[in-house]
Each structure stands twice: as C-alpha cells, then as structure tokens.
Amino acid sequence: MEALSPDIRLDALWRRGCEFLGCRYALLGGAMSWVSEHNLVAAISNAGGFGVIACASLGPDELAAEIVATKALTDRPFGVNLIIMHPELDALIDTCLDHGVGHVVLAGGVPGRAAIARLKDRGCRVISFAPALAIARRLVRNGVDALVIEGAEAGGHIGPVATSVLAQEILPQMGEVPVFVAGGIGRGEAILTYLEMGASGCQLGTRFVCANESIAHERFKQAFIRANARDAVTSVQVDPDLPMIPVRALFNNGSRRFLETQRQVATRFRDGELSQEQAQLEIELFWAGALRRAVIDGDVENGSLMAGQSVGMVTREQPTAEIIDELIDQARSVLAARAIPRAG
C-alpha cells in the first residue's frame, strides 16, 4: 500500500484546529502588545496561519480601528485577544461582536460564564488559556470552545510549568475541545511533536517579532536576533506580600528598573500610601509603558524586551510567509524521513 504523503499526514494531524480556526495551517500568532497589530496579524492570516490582534490596554475605539485596518489587509479569518481584567471588557466584547470578529481569545485569568456566553450567543468562538488541567476542565464547563496551554518558556507573562509538562498533563485528558500548545516553540519539528501528542495546533509569538511586516523598532528586532535562549529570563518578585505574575524578557537596564520600581512601590505599600491592590496594579503598569518604549521607540536599554526562550531561533528578519513556510517544511521533512526505508 502506498504511503501517505507528508502533506496529507500533516493535514490530518491538525485538521481539527484548521477547521476550528478556518485557516490553512493551525498556527496562531501569539498576541504580543504593540507588535501584534494589523500589519503582522494580516500577514500571518494571509500566509495561511491565524493572526490575533493584541488588544492589551486599547480602548473600544482603538480596537475598532485595528479590526477595520486588519480587514483592509486580509479577507481571511483572524482573532482578537482581550484581557479579562480590562476595565472596559464589556465594551471591548461589544466592539468585537459589532465588527464580526469570529474568534476571541480571553486572557489574563479565568473568564466567567457571563463573558463567554455573551460572545457565544452572537456566534463568536471563545478561546482561553489553561495553565493547569483543573483550570482546563473548569473553562470547558464554563463554555469555552478551545484552549491554549502555554508553558513557562513563553515570552511576557508566564506560568510556572514547562510546555512539555503541560502537554503531557492536559492533551490526553481534554478531547472535548481543540487544544493549542504554546511556549518555546520555534521550529516545525516541535509543532509536529505536539500535534502527534494530540494538539490541534500551536501558537507562536517570539518567532514572528522579526517578521518584515512586524512594526517593532529595528533596534528591538536586532536585540532578538543577537539573543540566545538563556538571555530570556524571568522577572524576580521583591516583596512576598505583593505577588506578581512573572514576566520573561531579555535582561537589560529595564529589568533592573523593574526591581527598583518594585522596591519603591513596596515601601509606599508598607507606609500605608497604597493598598495591596493599588500597589500590585502600579507594579503591573510598569510593563505597559516599558514595552512600548522598547517596541515602538526602540529604547532597548530601558524598555522591556519581552521574549520567549525560542528567541535563540530568531536569526534574521524574514517575510511572515517565509517563516510559516519554513515551519511547515521542517514538519514535512520529519514525516518524509520516516517514509524512507532504512538500508540493511
């Protein structure tokens, strides 16, 4: 019997993810603040993947403008990532629905049933992040249509568990919905591995930062190209009474400034100037401004260089379509090699 071609085998592995997203390749673009805007999002979708707008701190009007701008550049599906702690979450959901966004990724915590239901009642598919099996099950009970499991190798805000461990823990147990794997993925061989473990697709962020279509400042891109995996380190919590979500970024003066900011805020908290909630918010707000300084202004010394450990696999600027083609070719090569009979 004739062996199936690598293309057919790969298509079969991620068919569920492709059908769910409505794209050729079940590759989501990780939503990176200031980077995942309409130019890169449209480029990922046009290349056969699934681009995702990073709403982050945008207001409803700003998000609407991004959606309109993305639609002007692509007629293919894309999604929007919303942070559930955003003070205007309801208005942002309305913006997505009013502009016909088909998929919304709810991030930054465990979304409640009400937000999920509002989206689904208008035909929108809801994706959410699951950092543990128990949370994955809770999210499915709450009605999410798909999950992303993202390991500690990822850039930006991260959880404590490695991608490989999350995949082993969650993929065999969560057949009810499509599950996409993220965190530290930079090559097609890794994508294939997770697909064969049961994933419906993968999400990549760091790999797309140096795409030609990315508006990230040239100095920001060059910092990625020069970096090794070990340069992307996690932030350190200074005060045990002010817990924070760790952030993975390339270490620079901005990282040192974050430590000092934590110390200053902790002192004000101890002196009664700030409540615990106010202090934690002030610490968290550091990253929004620091990331913009690096990505947009090119201040790679004092800004935040959020990057996943796959940054060591970013070696040059490339068109988005070329990046995706490389990933697909790498996965196909493994499948093709298996079909070659061994000598002797």
Query: Are 66 and 180 members of one domain?
Result: yes
From CA 166, how far away is CA 156, in angstroms rounded? 18
Residue 152 above 60 pLDDT? yes
Is residue 220 in a domain?
Answer: no
- Comparing 45-49, 230-234, 243-247, 301-305, the range with the smallest average pLDDT is 243-247
pLDDT at site 232:
97
Q: Report pLDDT digits (tens) over 101-113.
A: 999 999 988 999 9
Query: Are 169 and 211 members of one domain?
Result: yes
Note the pTM of the prediction, 2 decimals.
0.94
pLDDT at site 323:
98
Is residue 223 in a domain?
Answer: no
Is residue 183 in a domain?
Answer: yes
Average pLDDT (290-297) is 95
Average pLDDT (146-157) is 96
Average pLDDT (281-287) is 84
Is residue 341 in a domain?
Answer: no
Residue 226 above 50 pLDDT? yes
Residue 344 above 80 pLDDT? no
Query: Are 147 and 239 members of one domain?
Result: no
Average pLDDT across the chain, whole number = 95
- Comparing 2-11, 14-23, 315-324, the range with the smallest average pLDDT is 2-11
The number of beta carbons lying within 10 Å of the beta carbon of residue 178 is 23
> Domain residues for 187?
6-215+313-336
Exposed e or buried b per residue across 182-196, where buried means at least 16 C-beta atoms within 10 angstroms of its C-beta = bbbbbbbebbbbbbe
User: What CATH number is attached to the domain comprising 33?
Assistant: 3.20.20.70
From CA 60, how far away is CA 62, in angstroms rounded? 5
From CA 267, how far away is CA 265, in angstroms rounded? 5
Query: Are 124 and 11 members of one domain?
Result: yes
pLDDT at site 339:
77
Query: Are 249 and 182 members of one domain?
Result: no
Query: Are 264 and 136 members of one domain?
Result: no
Burial class (CB in 10 A: 0-12, 13-18, 19+), 292: middle
Query: Are 286 and 157 members of one domain?
Result: no
Token pair of 141 as six digits: 């009970």
Residue 208 above 50 pLDDT? yes
Query: Are 185 and 300 members of one domain?
Result: no
How much of the chain, in percent, has pLDDT values that exceed 70? 98
Bigger pLDDT: 77 or 341? 77
Query: Are 326 and 254 members of one domain?
Result: no
Picking from 304, 294, 302, the residue whose alpha carbon sits closest to that of residue 235 is 304
Angle at 336 between CA 332 and CA 341, to 5 degrees: 165
From CA 276, how far away is CA 233, in angstroms rounded? 26
pLDDT at site 283:
87
Is residue 1 in a domain?
Answer: no
Q: Report pLDDT digits (tens) over 8-39.
A: 999 999 999 999 999 999 999 999 999 999 99
* Residue-level length of the chain: 344
Query: Are 12 and 97 members of one domain?
Result: yes
Query: Are 36 and 155 members of one domain?
Result: yes
Report the domain count for the chain: 2
Query: Are 99 and 194 members of one domain?
Result: yes
Is residue 277 in a domain?
Answer: yes
Is residue 344 in a domain?
Answer: no
Is residue 65 in a domain?
Answer: yes
Q: Is 220 helix (H, G, I), strand (E, B) or coil?
A: helix
From CA 220, how far away is CA 301, in angstroms rounded? 10
Q: Rounding to the nearest 10 degrees, give the CA dihedral for residues 36, 37, 42, 45.
A: 30
pLDDT at site 289:
86
